[in-house]
């Protein structure tokens, strides 16, 4: 399932453009973090914004980075994390409702010709 929503090395502007063009409130995708090597970003559209949550991986498994460094909930796999948050969304997150599958897009829309840099906050 996650192969279809994992977009790899994509920057924030490209992500926002894809979710705006093809998504709707609750559409989500995964991409590599531009600021933390090895981390992923879970990007979810909720008009008028795209919310980004950093996902960390460690020996404990996978977890969404929490606000105020609260203790995160760890999952054995990335698939388990996504499925859990699709079924029961924490109060501080936008609900994950519609995976933005690459197979539904034109290849040109998610291949990158130009790279911009930015810092995630």
Q: Which residue has the higher pLDDT, 7 or 114?
A: 7
Residues 6+ apart with CB under 8 A from 52: 12, 15, 41, 42, 43, 44, 120
Peptide linkage before 48 cis (omega within 30 of 0)? yes
Q: d(Cα 41, Cα 86) in Å, to the nearest integer?
A: 16
Burial 31-54 (b: 16+ CB within 10 A, else e): bbbbeeeeebbbbbbeeeebebbb
What is residue 54's predicted lDDT score, i.e. its pLDDT? 94
Look at the domain 2-110 and name its fold: SHC Adaptor Protein (3.30.505)
How far is it, in rounded angstroms, from Cα 53 to Cα 46? Answer: 13
Tokens of 74: 């760890």
Q: For residues 32 and 54, give the distance between their C-alpha atoms in angstroms, rounded to a whole number.
A: 9
pLDDT tens, residue by residue, 2-47: 889 999 999 999 999 999 999 999 999 999 999 999 899 999 999 8
pTM for the complete prediction? 0.82
pLDDT band at 71 (very low <50, low <70, confident <90, very high): confident
DSSP β-bridge partners for residue 98:
27
For 74-86, write each residue's pLDDT tens digit.
999 999 999 999 9
Side-chain-side CA neighbours of 113 within 13 Å: the count stands at 3
Task: Break the chain into its structural domains and give their ranges.
Answer: 2-110
């Amino acid at each position: 399932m996650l192969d279809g929503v994992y977009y790899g090395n994509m920057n924030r502007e490209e992500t926002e453009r894809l979710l705006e063009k093809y998504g709707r409130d609750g559409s989500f995708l995964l991409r590599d973090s531009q600021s933390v090597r090895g981390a992923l970003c879970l990007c979810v559209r909720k008009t008028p914004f795209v919310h980004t949550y950093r996902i960390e991986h460690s020996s404990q498994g996978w977890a969404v980075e929490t606000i105020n460094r609260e203790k995160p909930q760890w999952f054995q796999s990335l698939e388990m994390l996504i499925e859990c948050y699709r079924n029961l969304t924490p109060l501080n997150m936008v609900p994950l409702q519609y995976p933005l599958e690459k197979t539904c897009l034109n290849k040109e829309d998610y291949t990158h010709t130009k790279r911009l840099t930015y810092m995630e906050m």
